[in-house]
Structure 1
Amino acid sequence: MKRLFPHPGLTWLLIVMWLLVLNELSVGGLLLGVIFGTLVPLFTAPFWPERPSVRYGWPLIAYVLLVIGDIIIANFHVARLILFRRNRDLRSCWLNIPLDLQSAEAITVLAGTISLTPGTVSTDISTDGRHLLVHALDTGDAQAEVARIKSRYERRLLEIFR
């Protein structure tokens, strides 16, 4: 089974994305999605020699729900900053986040999560892969913000990417 589906998460993602792009649910569309979802990971598997072990299920679902909730809340926070504060009142700063994550995929998910949340953007990763540079639009305490990112996102990603 592992030979036919070397990356089951990618297979499911490709099938779902294919059906979303198709914009209709049909047997032929589903069959074509399964074919693409099977063949693409098979042909790209040699380019992923050391793929991380991903824990699907509740930890991943909880992480996605957490990120969606944080994105919604951050949208309102940034809108309030833009509408009711002057630019000189913003306390923007650069955050240097030390990483406990090991895999490039997990670090990419963390950087993407930070960039998806309005008010923060991941800008660079150190050459050794141990630090992530993030710009925060408005934060009072940089160390508290680093601790929040590590406890809120990185800790959960350590559970997902074991």
Structure 2
Amino acid sequence: MLSRLGFPQPFLSLNLFLVWQVLNDGVSGASVVMGLILAWLLPRLTSNFWPERPALVKGWLLPMYILRVLWDIVVASVAVARLVLSPRKPRPVFISYPLSLEHPLAITMLASTISLTPGTVSADVSDDNRILLIHALDAEDEQEVIDTIRQRYEKPLQEIFQ
């Protein structure tokens, strides 16, 4: 409904309106009118900078993906803490991860997920969006890291976006 009223980014517009009201330290007629103008005008002025919206084929899987990532962050945090506190030296490695995702937002979500999980960092994406360079703090087998990322993160993102 909001997109029919000329709000190209409805959630952004809502957030802009709410932030404007909070910054004004109270709700008045003038602040509501100005908030609506800003909520309509700013997304319209910046619409050329927004990437195309991906089609969420199975958007209902996104909350489960987020819960999985949060759980993995907790588990990886404990593993990294154990590694840091143990006398064993880590085995750092750079891994070239072959991507099967195609949409830029899905690739960004995968790279962000990898970077959010302690012990791994996304270092670079190839120019053709086919290879993701990942640094792992401690890995015995590169293929095991690739298989884990593919099963836990990339396949769910493919289901959600493609």
- Write out aligned runs for 1:41-52 (5 A): 41-48=43-50, 50-52=52-54
Query: Could you tell me which residue of structure 1 aligns to residue 122 of structure 2?
Result: 122
| Closer, same or farther: CA 53–80 of 1 in aligned 2, 3 Å | same
Could you tell me how far 1:95 is from its partner in structure 2? Answer: 1.2
Paired letter, 2:161? F
TM-score computed with the length of structure 2 as normaliser? 0.77
- Write out aligned runs for 1:136-151 (5 A): 136-151=136-151
In 2, distance between residues paired with 1:18 and 1:69?
Answer: 31
| Closer, same or farther: CA 39–111 of 1 in aligned 2, 3 Å | farther
In 1, distance between residues paired with 2:87 and 2:19?
Answer: 43
Structure 1: runs of 5 or more not aligned: none
Query: Could you tell me which residue of structure 1 aligns to residue 107 of structure 2?
Result: 107
CA RMSD of superposed structures (Å): 3.2
In 2, distance between residues paired with 1:155 and 1:85?
Answer: 36
Aligned length: 155
| Closer, same or farther: CA 120–47 of 1 in aligned 2, 3 Å | same
Task: Decide whether the 8 Å contact of 2:59 with 2:160 is kept in 1.
Answer: no
Could you tell me how far 1:102 is from its partner in structure 2? Answer: 1.1
Structure 2: runs of 5 or more not aligned: none
Paired letter, 1:112? S
SS at match of 2:46: helix
TM-score computed with the length of structure 1 as normaliser? 0.77
In 1, distance between residues paired with 2:9 and 2:101?
Answer: 21
Paired letter, 2:152? R
Once the two structures are aligned, what percentage of the paired residues are identical? 47
In 2, distance between residues paired with 1:66 and 1:10?
Answer: 26
Could you tell me how far 1:127 is from its partner in structure 2? Answer: 1.0
